[in-house]
Structure formats: structure tokens, C-alpha cells
Structure 1
């Protein structure tokens, strides 16, 4: 029987396999409760859920980790998606009372001209404020990282000349416990149209932990009551995610709704890239691209590095949680 977070309390569901939500060695150590605030659009919601669930499962090791799913009600959902979420997700307003040790925020599709004009902005930023004080650590992924630094410190993301999509070398810039065992030069996927500048971050107290080869920021952190971790890339991506995103963008192009998408860099082998290039010279259907992309094997694997990163993150939660409990107990005794 699995346990999921619903309306601020744990509720059993007999039809969901336990490994989707409870990971590691149960009962051997204090349970670590991690909440996923899944803001992805409908088409990517389930994918993001599974990617983070599988990642935490593989990285949990000897720790007893429970994943709880939360949603922000102001994010528009289709009826079918909403019906499914009603059985698996709790309202994000329940988070402060739900006993979360850590949170993961995913990005969302930007529909308004400015992030701060999105209908969910007030709820999102209220949750971010709570996370910065009420968790051991919180991780912001992709667009959520941009929203967080804008809210906390007024750091505005900037549009890139073209979409950054592909698998890129990430160079460690400093020693940090989060990067223990991570190679000095690793690889990680990126898929974004915006970025934040290092000078804008460091001038406000952020610490850059890794950069891409072009000098742009990959991974950074901010210290405080909670340690905040920010990812501009998507190390949680599965091996086929960039390929599926490319097919989605290509479908929009073939329907006349967007410009021709670029092929993800350092992702496909040369034969696959040449086959995709050949399709640009003649009328083609999306099925032609699907046939090429689904038959390809990505050039690089980033899974090992990602697992090491998240294993370190989980270990930091386990190490800090008892210290926080002791500090709270001491503060309570002093106030009596």
C-alpha cells in the first residue's frame, strides 16, 4: 500500500505501487519527507512526476524517503488531468502543515508577458517564502529557479538569442558537499529560452557551483535558514526527453505555429543528425521525424552524475533534520 500526501495528511491508496512514493530502506532511519510542487503543463505533468520519483528512488540508498505530490490550484488544468490529480495531489496550501523536510519546485509554462503576472504568482511566491524558512533545503528546477531568484532578490532572467537545447559539459567551480563524488567535468541536459547572469546572482549573495563551457550558470545556491539549490538545466530528464521535446516543437513547426526548431546539441549521433537534416530539404510529415528520432540512441548519459547529485542532496537532508529538531526542542525549553 502506497502512501501519498492528500489534504495535509497521509492517505492510503491500494491501487498505487509503493515504490512510486516510498523509497530506500524503510524503518532503518528517520523518514525524510520530500514534497514535489509540480507546476508543469498538462502534457508534461506526469512525465515530471515520474522523472523525479524514479530519481529519488534510485538515489535514496539507505534512507527512508517519502515523496508527496502537491499542486497549485491557480494553474489551469484540463478536466482529465484535474480528475487524475484529485486522487494523487494535495493542494499546495497544505504544505506548511504537512511536515515536509524538503521541497522540489518544477517550472511552469509561461503564458503571461511577465512571470509576476501569472495567475499563480502570489501562491507560488508565498510557498517559496515558506520553503526558504521552513525546510531543510529546497530545490528549484528550470523556470522555477528563475521565478525564485526574481522573487527573492529581484534577479530578472533574460531571453537567450536562441533556445539552448541539448546536453552540455558542466564544470564544477568550487568544492561543495552537494558535488561530492561528482566529476569536475560532467554533462547535463538544458532546454530553455532564458537565463540568469552570474554577476546578477553573485552580487546578491548567490554562490555558483557549476558553469557550462560557454561561461553561463548551470547550478547555484543560496544559504539561509534553508539551503536553496537552483538548477537552470534538467538533470532529471530521461534519456529520451530531449528527443520528445524536439518532436513536439517540430509538430508545431509543421502546423505553421512556430519557427523550425533546432536539433538538440550533443544529443543525437551523426547519422541521426544527417537524417534529420535530409528531411529539411523535402516536404515531410511528423511521422517521418518520429521514425528517425525514436530509432536513435542518445550520445551521452548523465544519469550517474544526476544520481550522485541527488544522493548528496538527500544525505544533506538526513544530516540536518536531527540538528533542526534539537534546535527546536532547545528553543521550546528556553521559552518555557
Structure 2
């Protein structure tokens, strides 16, 4: 199996722990290595990139194990990779995990509960809600989870949110420990969750954006459930690759409108070049034009200002996982 890890504050099932030694502190006695699962549902073209992104954030001190849903459609190359490095989702209950990360998958059906993998996905959510100390849901997985847990339906946006947006903390929480009040976060989505419905069902919104709405929210319970509508795991070129893909889909006719340039992401010179190409694409809509799309050297993104905050968020999350594991072990020892 592939492996990886992280560090921060502490949170128990009943609230914030007042004093917990920092995760993997040099002064602390060695603790058992955390074991985190990644249920990777991303499309074939993003499967390995997603592994790399979450490996980087979770870090080398933590054992990272990979799992997949057999009901997510796969091509032969991706299936061969999964067969070599991944376990099926049915192996989750016996994997000895402390926590789980679940990614989304590009939707094929009009409704999430009509996706071919939805029954398997919801079974994993129900198991994780009781068996893990925490589960983190990324983007579409967050949408599918709140639909299953509380019947909250996502709403289609008039245009895709694509770019890097300032997201402001709405209240203190150990997940945000040591972070600035406003942090940049990449978003890339066609749908949104209404904040009012989340609050009515007992979710706590921790960070939001004036431009794109809710960014980060949690649900307390036997397992702390963490939901991200954004993509703090993205690498510097991820939005650029997605934009190029979306341009290609427009040129080949599989999408009706020319995609907007990711906001707050490119340099001014890059925006000028990309706007020139987009205007040409609207006038001369032909797949052959895709070969003339400006490359990364000609259209560089700005520096990835979100990555330090993303690393801190995951260190804080891993600290909560470690603290909650210790609390559970203590409770089981005295039971």
C-alpha cells in the first residue's frame, strides 16, 4: 500500500480539549502512528493527481491507505492502477483506520442520488459516522454526504465558481487554529449548498466567502465530520488544467458556453492572452483550435497563496484525529 501524514489543537466528542500535547511533539511520548484512509472517487484523469495532492497535505508521518468504490465507472488503465494500489471500500471496516478522507467524482446524473455509486457511498458514510474519529469530505462528496445525512440538496449555480477566493472565518474552531482570519482557497464547482439549510440542520459554518458562499463547515457527532466545498489540496496548475479541459469541451461541443477564466488566479499578462484566445474560440468554434491554446509558460498562474493555509488546516485536522483517538482509547480502557 501507498503511505503518508501531519499535526495541532485538539477536539473531543464533547468539545474542545483544554490541554492536549501537540501531535508528534518532540516532548511527548511516542504515540501510535495515525492511519488515515483515502476513498478516492475522482475521475480517471485526476486519480493519481488526487493521490499526490492528499499525500502532500497528510504528510509522511501518517500511514495513508487507498480505497475505491467498485461502482464508480473506470477505464482499463485506471482499473489496473486501482487493482494494484487500492483496496475495495468493503475493506474499510477491517482496516483499523482512525479517520477517512472522501473525494468527489464528476457527476453523470442530474441528481446525486441517481449516480451508480450512491448506494455504496452512503453505506460508507453511515459506517464512518460511527467508526472513525473524523471524516473529511471534499467538494462533491460533501454535497452527496449532506444529501444522505440530512436531505439537503445542492443548488445549481448560474455559472461555474472557478478561481481562488478570500474565505473569512465565521467563528473560532480548532480546525482554524493559527490561521489568518481570511484565507485564499481554490473553488471549482457548478453547485452550491445553502447556508441557511445547513445551519437549520445543525451544521456549523466555519468559513465563508462573499463571492462563492460556504467554504468549510462541520457536523459534530461520534465522528467529527468536516466538509469542504473548496479544494485546498489543489496544486498550482490544477485550475489551469481544468480551464484547458473546459475550453476543449466547449470547442468539441460537449458544453454550450465558453468557460470563464478562473478568477484571482492568473497574472495580468496571462489573463490578456487567455481572453484573446477565448474570443477567438467563440468566433471560430472548432476542436482543431485547441492545439493553439496558450501553454503554461505563456500564461503562468500567480503563486499558490493558498498552500500554507491548506497545510495548516490538515495539520490541525490530524491533531484533532490524534486527540480524539486518545480520548476514545481512554474511554474504552475505563469502560
TM-score by length of 2: 0.88
Matched, 1:327 2:331: yes
Which deviations, in whole Å up to 9, do the C-alpha atoms of 1:154-192 show, x marking residues without a partner?
A: 110000110000000000000100100111011000000
Secondary structure in 1 aligned to 2:295? helix
Q: How does 1:146-295 map to 2 (within 5 A)?
A: 146-214=143-211, 216-258=213-255, 259-282=257-280, 283=284, 285-291=289-295, 295=299
Secondary structure in 1 aligned to 2:293? helix
Equivalent-residue separation in structure 2 for 1:286 and 1:292 (angstroms): 14
CA drift at 1:299: 4.9
Secondary structure in 1 aligned to 2:162? strand
User: Higher relative contact order by CA 8 Å / sep ≥ 6: 1 or 2?
Assistant: 2
Match of 1:106 in 2: 103
CA drift at 1:300: 4.7
Match of 1:88 in 2: 85
Match of 1:116 in 2: 113
Equivalent-residue separation in structure 2 for 1:225 and 1:165 (angstroms): 34
Long gaps (5+) in structure 1: 5-19, 332-336
CA drift at 1:29: 2.4
Secondary structure in 1 aligned to 2:184? strand
Equivalent-residue separation in structure 1 for 2:221 and 2:297 (angstroms): 44
Match of 2:15 in 1: none
Q: How does 1:4-83 map to 2 (within 5 A)?
A: 4=1, 21-23=3-5, 28-57=30-59, 64-83=61-80
Long gaps (5+) in structure 2: 7-23
Q: Which moved more, 1:292-301 or 1:230-239?
A: 292-301
Which deviations, in whole Å up to 9, do the C-alpha atoms of 1:88-127 show, x marking residues without a partner?
A: 0000111011111000000011112211111111111010
Secondary structure in 1 aligned to 2:230? coil
Contact kept, 8 Å, 1:142 with 1:231, in 2: the verdict is yes
CA drift at 1:288: 2.4
Equivalent-residue separation in structure 2 for 1:218 and 1:224 (angstroms): 20
Secondary structure in 2 aligned to 1:167? strand
* Aligned positions, number: 308
Q: Which moved more, 1:149-158 or 1:291-300?
A: 291-300
Secondary structure in 2 aligned to 1:291? coil
1:144 aligned to 141, 145, 148, which one?
141
Equivalent-residue separation in structure 2 for 1:220 and 1:168 (angstroms): 16
CA drift at 1:292: 5.4
TM-score by length of 1: 0.88
Aligned-residue CA RMSD in angstroms?
1.8
Contact kept, 8 Å, 2:109 with 2:115, in 1: the verdict is yes
